[in-house]
Amino acid sequence: MRSLLVFAGLLAVAFGIENFVGHQVLRISAADEAQVDKVKELEELELDFWRAPVHPDLPIDVRVPFASLQGVKAHLESHSIDYSIMIEDLQELVDEEQLYMSRRHFMPLTIETFNYASYHTLDEIYGFMDLLAAEKPNLVSRIQIGWSYEGRPINILKFSTGGVKRPAIWIDTGIHSREWVTQASGIIFAKKLLDGYGKDASVTSILDNFDIFLEIVTNPDGFAYTHSKNRMWRKTRSINSGSSCVGVDPNRNWDAGFGVAGSSGNPCSETYRGPRANSESEVKAIVDFVKSHGNIKAFISIHSYSQLLLYPYGYTTKKAADAQELDALAKKAVDALASLHNTKYKYGSIITTIYQASGGTIDWTYEQGIKYSYTFELRDTGRYGFMLPASQIIPTAEETWLALKVIMEHTRDHPY
């Protein structure tokens, strides 16, 4: 096993893939605001914060390159800030993930032989979408809604039993490209919709009344890059004028509180908002689709990690007009999710549950009149973070599906 992992590492170097040997992920526990401020000083090193330093009630997770470890730990210890090591060597997890993929998956011949318990590349996912559409063309179709910055098609699945611009539900996964469990879950959601119609009373009723649009790979350039060059890539791959740093955070690029606190104006930041709202073709494609459709009633954007179900707002402390209903529905959804594997989620508005985030997807959709706008943060709470083992794909997707059904059923039963 060890020799295989070493061989995988050598191949990565040969192909110019970003190497994370010796990188550790630290869980930092700040005791008070003063300690949070001291942790924020580390942001000058342009470290990869998986969970940002915001306030003492929230843990802080940060990936630290080997060359910076000694200095970062010394900084924390000198200010009596507690930390623990969540991931001892990130590259070991990356190598294990790649080895598992190489052993377990193959190009699918049918939707039944497709390996749902493995992570997949962009080409494999797009191939799966075509298989789905071919299996039941009267229920499923693939639609291209735009082109990515690097010229890849932006594809979505449409599940429909007929009609034009019927009330619709939108689900997207993978807007942050390194959150692989989300794209993998999106694949399983698609299969459940395909299999459920005519067999599952809830799915049948929903699809008899609504179309469902599912975008499995919302950031295709970034996702392809996580497979070819850098497993930890989060942003898009657009070129930033005047900077050597590439990409924009597509969840800070929407025209809802764009540019206010809760995003960065630094192109090298993981939360860089971009030069203007909707500058990213991946975001603009969804904006144009939503506006053109005009009858989307629920919009659910799926991320990882932290085990949260969130609703607007993120950019302002102003309460959403429908906050009471959104909160009650979120509770019902997370209770359904927990019923399967006892996975515990927190829920609430973005700004009160985690932090201020501006230019976010569901703030924009809510301001477009889509009442049932939600963001999930899937498993886990930090043990593996973005490197969730493939063995957790199916349980993660299955429990999330129960929550999604609650939201979709509520949308069906409460027309507006």
Catalytic residues: 377
Contacts with 134 (C-beta within 8 Å, 6 or more apart), sequence order = none
Number of Cβ atoms within 10 Å of the Cβ of 105: 18
**Could you tell me if 387 and 343 are in contact, meaning their C-beta atoms sit under 8 angstroms apart?**
no
Query: CA–CA separation, 330 vs 68, rounded Å?
Result: 40
* SS3 assignment, position 81: coil
**Could you tell me if 298 and 304 are in contact, meaning their C-beta atoms sit under 8 angstroms apart?**
no
**Could you tell me if 113 and 107 are in contact, meaning their C-beta atoms sit under 8 angstroms apart?**
no
The tokens of 366 are what?
Answer: 């809510």
Alpha helices in 210-258 (DSSP H): 220-228
Q: Measuring CA to CA, how many Å separate 50 from each of 27, 63, 64, 172, 340? A: 10, 7, 11, 21, 27
Query: Which amino acid belongs to residue 125?
Result: I
Query: CA–CA separation, 284 vs 222, rounded Å?
Result: 16
Q: Which residue has the tokens 């493939």?
A: 390
In the DSSP assignment, the letter for residue 238 is P
Query: CA–CA separation, 250 vs 15, rounded Å?
Result: 28
**Could you tell me if 355 and 280 are in contact, meaning their C-beta atoms sit under 8 angstroms apart?**
no
Burial class (CB in 10 A: 0-12, 13-18, 19+), 138: exposed
Specify which residues 264 forms β-bridges with.
Answer: 272
Query: CA–CA separation, 290 vs 365, rounded Å?
Result: 8
